[in-house]
Each structure stands twice: as C-alpha cells, then as structure tokens.
Amino acid sequence: MGAMPEEIEGLVDLMANVTEVNIGMRTYYSGTLNGNKVVVVFSRWGKVAAATTVTTLVLHFGITELLFTGVAGAVDAGLNIGDVVVAQRLVQHDMDARPLLPRFEVPLLQKTYFETDEALRARAVKAVEYLVESRHLHQLTENRFLQKFGIEKPAVYTGDIASGDHFFSNAAAKHRLVEMLPHTLCVEMEGAAVAQVCYEYRIPFVVIRTISDTADEHSPLDFPLFVRHIASRYSVAVVKAMVS
C-alpha cells in the first residue's frame, strides 16, 4: 500500500497478470510480483481513509502481510531529507480521550503504541541498507534532483513514527510534539491508523517512510517533484527488494 499515487504506479508497472477492482472509490491492482501474489493500492490521505483501505485489503482480498510506504516529515534533528525510517512503533499523536484515558491511548485496546512485525522490519532495514550501500538509490534518479534536495548518502533509521490528521508546517507545533512524544523520529498522516487495523486483524505489517521535509517552515516547496523523482522511486526499489 502506498501513501502516494506515484508509488503504486511504479509497482503496478512491475507486476504481471494485473487485474483491477474498484471498491469504495479506490482501485486495487492484483497480480504477481517476483512470483508472489500481491495487491497494490493507493491508501488515500489521512487516518480514516488509510484505515478503510487496509480493512478492505484484509476482508476482501485476504492479505497475509502488509507493506506500507510513503513520505514523512522529520522530527528528530538527526534526520535529513532522503533518509528512510522503518517504523518500530507507531502512535496516534492526535488521540486524546482524557480524562477517560491517558493521552494517546487508543480506547478499548489499552495500547498507546502499535509495534511493527519484527521479521518484516528486519527485511525492510536490510533492503534499504543494501540499496544505500550499493548506491542503487542514486541510480534511480538524476543527479540534479538529488542535488536539489541535498541528498548525498541516505541513511536508514528504525524507531517511532507519530501519525495524525495534521500536516506539520511550523517549528512550534513540531516542538510541542517532541515534548509530548520525545522518541518520535518523524510524522505522517496514516501509519498508526493502519497499524491499529493490522493489530486488530492480526496482520503482520511494516511502515517505511522516506523523509521529504523537516516538518517546519523550511520544508521544500516542490513536494510533488520530491515524490515523483525521489520518494516514489525509493519505495518501488525497497518493495521490489523485499518481495523476492
């Protein structure tokens, strides 16, 4: 599942025996990738949309594991644009049922964080590390795009990702998040909701995010260019390496 349409376009091009099914205003592409049966779909944006999409994958298509890719804004100061974060845990930063429950705890589940599958996480990290060390990621796009976004040698990180229906575009909001959730590496708008659905249906999953901006006033202005020429190509290469 991809958080951007450009990501799934690249994967569909690699698939064989592709068929399309339209459900709930989404197009699901079924076929094979490296001999494995797969379903590829654009999650749509936001927690509700992404949760709806993964629920359809589980109930209609009977998936047995989920790989979710997309972009994210850096919260940790050590992250650079072009780095890749493989989630270990995901939390909904806008979940707040106080005083009934502690802040960030999901009602009825007694959980604040949802952890990704250990084996899938290890496969994702291994795939990204190989693509970085072999400089394959640099071969996926032109140098002018790498230079535009200041990408020299991407690094892979494992840690916490915070999700919520809020796009971070100023430093003050980011700093408030860090004060509340100090171990957060990056922020996005879908992962933790997807994680909750996978947890409830017992589906192994992993979330892989490419850092597209710094979640503040200094975020790059040409977001579509980054997605098309950097993030989408990263995602396709990582998924292709994992599904082998």
User: Which residues carry out catalysis?
Assistant: 7, 213
Residue that is written with structure tokens 């710094």 in the block: 214
Residue 238, SS3 per DSSP: helix
Q: Which long-range CB contacts under 8 A does 122-128 form with residues at least 24 apart?
A: 123/206, 123/242, 124/67, 124/86, 124/206, 124/208, 124/238, 124/242, 125/86, 125/156, 125/158, 127/238, 127/241, 127/242, 128/84, 128/86, 128/154, 128/156, 128/208, 128/238
